Amino acid sequence: MRVKDVNELVQTVFSGLSPLVVEDVVDEGERIVVRARTPQVTAVCPVCEAPSERVHGYHWRTVADVPVDERRVVVCVRVRRLVCPTRDCRHTFREQVPLLDRYQRRTTRLTRQVKAVVKELAGRAGARLLAILAVSLSRHTALRALLRIPLPTGRVPRAIGVDDFALRRRHRYATVIIDAETHERIDVLPDRTADTLEAWLREHPGIEIVCRDGSATYAEAIRRALPDAVQVADRWHVWHNLCEAALSEVKAHSACWATVLDAPIYDGPRAQTTLERWHQVHGLLDQGVGLLECARRLQLALNTVKRYARADRPERMLRVPKYRASLVDPYREHLRKRRADDPGVPVKHLFEEIKALGFTGCLNLLHKYINQGRADADRSHISPRRLARMLLTRPDNLKAEQHELLAKLTTTCPEMTQLAADIRDFAPLLTPHADNADALTRWITQVRAADLPHLHAFTRGLERDRDAVNSALTLPYSNGPTEGVNTKTKRIARQMHGRAGFTLLRHRILLG
């Protein structure tokens, strides 16, 4: 079928082909073929830029265009080859059309659409989506189109964020660098060594502020390459380290707050081994033996020996059992009352009763729940992690009953009271303010006056990186945007099933 009104069709459907003179449009069913030619205008030699109208010959170029009505569009263009009028220049040259890129089998507007798809979906996924859109493309061609997208080349920023991400977890890592103010991607380095980052920083002078996490490798590279730059620690990591120290303190004082809840302290074989090891470690320490030598003699890890050494009493090594949420928890009150009224009631009878109330678990689960003593407690069990979470949660976000429970548990011993006060005093420092550096000094002095060895370790970590921590608490910069880029990088890696090489992954990250 031939279309008669070609001019009207060009103005509506094929408006993107306006640089060409459309001579015919043929509907072949599965595809639409457009025959066109270049306009009879003067062409310019690409070497000497001399104009020419002398035609040497013609040849045809067949390219794909954007689909119409879910059908492929093929454009057959007659292109002129002209003679260059300049002596000693090339003899002939082929005229170039803005609509057609050199050596390409697609029009520029179709190429733009292909690049927009592969930029988000890359190879296989991009090829599958383009096939639905009536664009036939292999995954290899899709990747080539993706790698041909030019990367942005911006100015060297004043403040940058640096962080690492895993190319292969626990084996290979890379480094991403972003603009800390505009959050634009700047570069991706193939590893996370100090030498690589130092070389990059030396090649990009003008950087004044660097946001990073607690990595000593990055800190050393920045000190060597930019000794006058301000290093800013990540506030999230500072708070996270405090959370870990607070959780360790809560675990160390399990024997104190567990008595308020009538929660049992684990006293099985593992607890006996823990007590024996505590006496062994402190016995060697009392003799003047160093931590490393203690670890060698007792065949323990050095960090394990340090953990035992921090506990001044063996009771601080005992823990509350880690009970997870159970299907029996909703029926605990019923079980407690029945066992209080009739201590000899068979477990089988209790199982039938709660099963009638909607219990979906098995009899063995109920046996285990009762043998652990959880059915006879006045209140549900609370784990050290849950207590630490209440300590570290903003008070406005706690319910009234949680406030009451927290107040009761934190008054069981002076150390727990001091821990709650220290956390409450540190939280406001995470809001940047010019006076936070002095406030941090006072906070560290306050913590070291208390018997909280895990918080003491946290303060020592702050002192080792004090300048960067002070900058984090006083300046508005943060490494959070860099962590956000890492999150998106993980999505990109999962999307390609982890099979992307560094070159392709770097390209997609920088195009994000």
Beta bridge partner(s), residue 81: 57, 94
The fraction of the chain above a pLDDT of 90, given in percent, is 31
CA distances from 291 to 286, 312, 371, 451 (A): 11, 15, 40, 21
The secondary structure of residue 330, as a DSSP letter, is: G
Residues 6+ apart with CB under 8 A from 461: 214, 241
Q: Is 254 exposed, middle or buried (0-12, 13-18, 19+ CB in 10 A)?
A: buried
Mean pLDDT, to the nearest integer, of 237-253? 92
pLDDT at 1 (0 to 100): 41
Global confidence as pTM: 0.75
254 closest CA partner among 370, 412, 449: 412
Residue-wise DSSP of 156-213: PPSEEEEEEEEEETTTEEEEEEEETTT--EEEEESS--HHHHHHHHHHSTT--EEE--
Cα of first residue to Cα of last residue in the chain, in angstroms, is: 45
Which residue did the predictor score with more confidence, 3 or 445? Answer: 445
pLDDT at 11 > cutoff 70: no
Which residue did the predictor score with more confidence, 68 or 195? Answer: 195
Q: Is 368 exposed, middle or buried (0-12, 13-18, 19+ CB in 10 A)?
A: middle
Contacts 24+ apart (CB under 8 A), 373-376: 373/264, 374/323, 374/326, 374/328, 374/332, 375/328, 375/332, 375/335, 375/336, 375/339, 376/336, 376/339
- pLDDT tens digits, residue range 69-110? 888 888 888 888 888 888 778 788 888 888 888 888 888 888
Beta bridge partner(s), residue 173: 166
Residues 502 and 499: their CA atoms lie apart, in Å, by 10
Computed over every residue of the chain, the mean pLDDT equals: 86
Out of 171-185, 331-345, 443-457, which region has the weakest mean confidence (pLDDT)? 331-345
pLDDT at 277 > cutoff 60: yes
The fraction of the chain above a pLDDT of 70, given in percent, is 93
Q: How many CB atoms lie within 10 A of CB 317?
A: 19
Q: How many CB atoms lie within 10 A of CB 357?
A: 9
